[in-house]
Amino acid sequence: MAADETPPSTPPAPQPPSPQEELDELKDKYYRLLADGENQRKRLQKDKMEGIKSAEVSTITSFLEPLDHLENALKFATHASPDVKQWAVGFEMILGQFKEILSRHKVAPFSSLGHHYDHEKHDAVDIEETEDVAPGTIMEEYQRGYVMEGKTIRPAKVKVAKARAEPEELQEKREES
């Protein structure tokens, strides 16, 4: 090395953290881990509750169709023999118990007839052109819909009104004028 050259400067050696800085860093890590653990616990609890609710909804909706069939069958029992009418009374009591259980689980049917079509609450299985009611109005309910705690768990199957299409002759006359 030449006399006029200066030795390369070496960076200063890092200072070891003071005990207080080390303590503060460890506390910060501890609190972050504690918060992460708490957040994970809450997330797992929420996932568990959603799974339970999903299973409950699934179980309840699987009972709705047989209940519909039972209700429909009981409607025909009024025209049956006295023996069948006696049986029907017992089945009506059972149906009442099922409805009470649904009510305890905050499950309720909703009416669709005459209401405006809502894609979240209704499943349009039929459309009819008519001038008797406003377009989008539900004209017939084929299967009742149900809500649970305000959320639709089974949409109603309905027939929806549609505006009549103009006959071709009227369309052609309008285009000519």
Q: What is residue 128's three-state secondary structure? A: strand
Domains of the chain, start order: 109-168 (2.30.22.10)
What pLDDT band is residue 173 in, cutting at 50, 70 and 90?
low
Q: In this structure, are strands 145-148 and 107-110 parallel, antiparallel, or unpaired? A: antiparallel
pLDDT digits (tens, 9 = 90+) for 78-107: 888 888 888 999 999 999 999 999 999 999
pLDDT computed for residue 81 by the predictor: 87
Measured in degrees and rounded to the nearest 5, phi and psi for residue 16 equal -65, 145
pLDDT computed for residue 34 by the predictor: 95
pTM over cut 0.75: no
Q: What does the DSSP 8-state code read for residue 134?
A: -
| Contacts of 156 by beta carbon, 8 Å cutoff, 6+ apart | 110, 112, 121, 122, 123, 138, 141, 142, 143, 144, 145
Instruction: At 31, list the tokens.
Output: 């609190």
Please name the helix (run of DSSP H) or strand (run of DSSP E) that holds residue 136, with its range, or none: none
pLDDT computed for residue 172 by the predictor: 63
pLDDT digits (tens, 9 = 90+) for 10-66: 777 778 888 888 899 999 999 999 999 999 999 999 999 999 999 999 999 999 999
> Is the model more confident about 145 or about 7?
145
Alpha carbon distances (Å) from 131 to 122, 125, 160, 168, 176:
21, 19, 12, 17, 26
pLDDT computed for residue 163 by the predictor: 87
What pLDDT band is residue 135 in, cutting at 50, 70 and 90?
very high
Say if CB 74 and CB 88 are below 8 A apart.
yes
Cα within 13 Å of Cα(6), Cβ side: 3
